[in-house]
Amino acid sequence: MTTAARVLVWAAAAAVLGVLVALAVPVASGAYVVAQLVSFRTLLFLGATVVAVVLLAVAWTRRRLLPVALAFLVGAAAQGAVLVARSVPQPAAATGSAEPVVVLAFNTLDTVGPTLLADLALAHGADVLVLPETSLDTARATAAQLAAAGRPMQVLTAEGHHPAIAGTALLVSDRVGTYPTSEPLATRLGSLRADPREPAESPVIVAAHPLAPISRGSMATWRTETRLIAGTCADTPGAIVAGDLNATLDHPGLRDLGPCVDAARASGAAALGTWPASVPALLAAPIDHVLVDGRTWRVVGFDVLPRTAGSDHRPIVATLERR
């Protein structure tokens, strides 16, 4: 076999290997380390591209590196293709004439004051505020300021089971429905389900904050809790689920949403991340979400907002219309 033929064989094998690795990443995304890496697709794309370019430059003199360079190039192309696909809005049918419902979700790290939160809600016309890591005092003070501005809100909360992390607060405008009580969901950081008393067509709202995959020992709990949140959306007609889900669409818990849709994906904004807020949104991990029953709701807008105060998450806002 000639040298040129050997290079072609190695190049073909490397291309196949690159495709297999690209496909295996999401399949193994529930595993420790892989779960963390796949959260940052843009960084994977940029890293693989840089390595491929460097190896291709060197391969002019060291042809044995060409297959490795090609494998990295295929991997970069796969990551880039996913990012492009998630930047394309999904088509949706026309809706009725009902007023939209605006959902704002923001993990405040319990560092954002009520005045700023109220101003943020008023600026975006929010009807639903989901605030992980936000104390009851802050939630009540925010609601008081919104009421003074002519936008009264009901306040519901779920306590977490971590002494250093505040629970999750849910504020709901009276115009969305009446929510007298809520039911806690089994997540360590505090999640709740609010069922409306009236009117009958008001949505069930879930304010969620499952555990993050921060260590090898937390992986099983993370997988269970994210599946619980996504499953609650899939099993609840007309549901709206929002919060810091500590998972991307590549992770096991959010990969199959059933009848539910991710608002960012539907709007073509799923390549933009929310954590950490200290880096550009395109480089961050998209772990904050608004999920809705796609049979009931059409997503007409989604935005990742700028970094706000001292939180390490960016706020997100989704605009929904009833079908």
The 10s digit of each residue's pLDDT in 254-280 is 999 999 999 999 999 999 999 999 999
Terminal alpha carbon distance of the chain: 64
Instruction: Give the pLDDT confidence of 175-228 residue by residue, as tens digits.
Output: 999 999 999 999 999 999 999 998 889 999 999 999 999 999 999 999 999 999
- Give the Cα separation of 239 and 194 in Å (integer): 10
As a whole number of angstroms, the distance between CA 87 and CA 249 comes to: 13
CA 318/CA 303 separation, integer angstroms: 7
The answer to whether 233 touches 207, Cβ cutoff 8 Å, is: no
For residue 193, what is the enclosing H or E element?
Answer: strand 191-194
Alpha carbon distance 180, 309 (integer Å) = 31
Higher pLDDT, 316 or 12: 316
pTM (two decimals): 0.90
What backbone torsions phi and psi does residue 4 show, to the nearest 5 degrees?
-60, -40
At 222, list the tokens.
């993370």
Length of the chain: 323
Give the separation between CA 106 and CA 190, rounded to whole angstroms: 14
User: Of 3-17, 67-81, 94-108, where does mean pLDDT reach its minimum?
Assistant: 3-17
CB 308 within 8 A of CB 116: yes
Buried b (16+ CB within 10 A) or exposed e, 63-92: eebbbbbbbbbbbbbbbbebbeebeeeeeb
Please state, as a whole number, how many other Cβ atoms lie within 10 Å of the Cβ of residue 154. Answer: 17
Tell me the mean pLDDT in the region 15-25.
Answer: 50
In the chain, what percentage of residues exceed pLDDT 90?
A: 72
**Least reliable range by pLDDT among 26-35, 250-259, 304-313:** 26-35
Classify strands 101-105 and 316-322 as parallel, antiparallel or unpaired.
antiparallel
Residues 272 and 275: their CA atoms lie apart, in Å, by 10
- CA dist., res. 98 & res. 202, Å (int): 12
pLDDT value at residue 265: 98
Residue 87's identity, in one-letter code, is S
- Is residue 177 within 8 A of residue 196, CB to CB? The reply is yes
Q: Which of 88-92, 109-113, 162-166 has the lowest mean pLDDT?
A: 88-92
pLDDT of residue 30: 83
Residue 178: count of CB within 10 angstroms of its CB: 12
At residue 23, the pLDDT reads 47
Measured between alpha carbons, how far is 184 from 159 in angstroms, rounded to an integer?
8
Q: What is the pLDDT of residue 122?
A: 98
